[in-house]
Amino acid sequence: MAKDWFVIHTYSGYENKVKMNLEKRVESMNMEEKIFRVLVPMEDEVEFKNGKQKITKRKVYPGYVLVEMEMTDDSWYVVRNTPGVTGFVGSGTKPIPLLESEVVTILQQMGMDEIQTRVDFEINQSVQVIAGPFKDFVGVVREILADKGKLRVEVSMFGRETPVELEFTQVQKLD
């Protein structure tokens, strides 16, 4: 089963308490195999008070906490029933995992670039562009920029091979 990042909604101002409570519950209920990391996305904010520079941490998404987990009935129950959690973000009752590119962006904002990006693409592989200005073009992967979540793809445009940079989410493999 794959681990994904999910967003949980919390009572505003309770993000750090939810993180602490959830981490304690994961430990006490032996869920370390299914629930891996709990993050409250923060960023540095520079303030100037009385002529002095002060750096404070600011919640990027007040009222939300990120959880890296395998979604099973058990893990869902543990997270959902943690005090302060009002629910998962998703349509209806089904939680929707974040896209890999969204997670990379959030972790980079926090200075946590150590996420390992799963790359499903290979050099010289044919792909179809499914989003963006080059939608419906077919191209060949020439370079994989895993750290940025992007590919350099050569597409045929006006009878010439043209390199374009696309996000992983903008292309799909042609098999």
pLDDT single digits (tens) 115-129: 444 567 789 999 999
Residue 1 contacts residue 72 (beta carbons within 8 Å): yes
Highest mean pLDDT among 47-56, 133-142, 143-152: 133-142
Structural domains in the chain, sorted by start: 3-109 (3.30.70.940), 126-173 (2.30.30.30)
Q: How many CA atoms lie within 13 A of 170 on its CB side?
A: 20
Q: Which of 160, 155, 159 is nearest to 174 (CA)?
A: 155
> In the prediction, which pLDDT does 119 show?
64
pTM beyond cutoff 0.85: no
Q: Which long-range contacts (CB under 8 A, 24 or more apart) does 89-92 make?
A: 89/6, 89/7, 89/8, 89/9, 89/64, 90/6
Q: Is 21 helix (H, G, I), strand (E, B) or coil?
A: helix
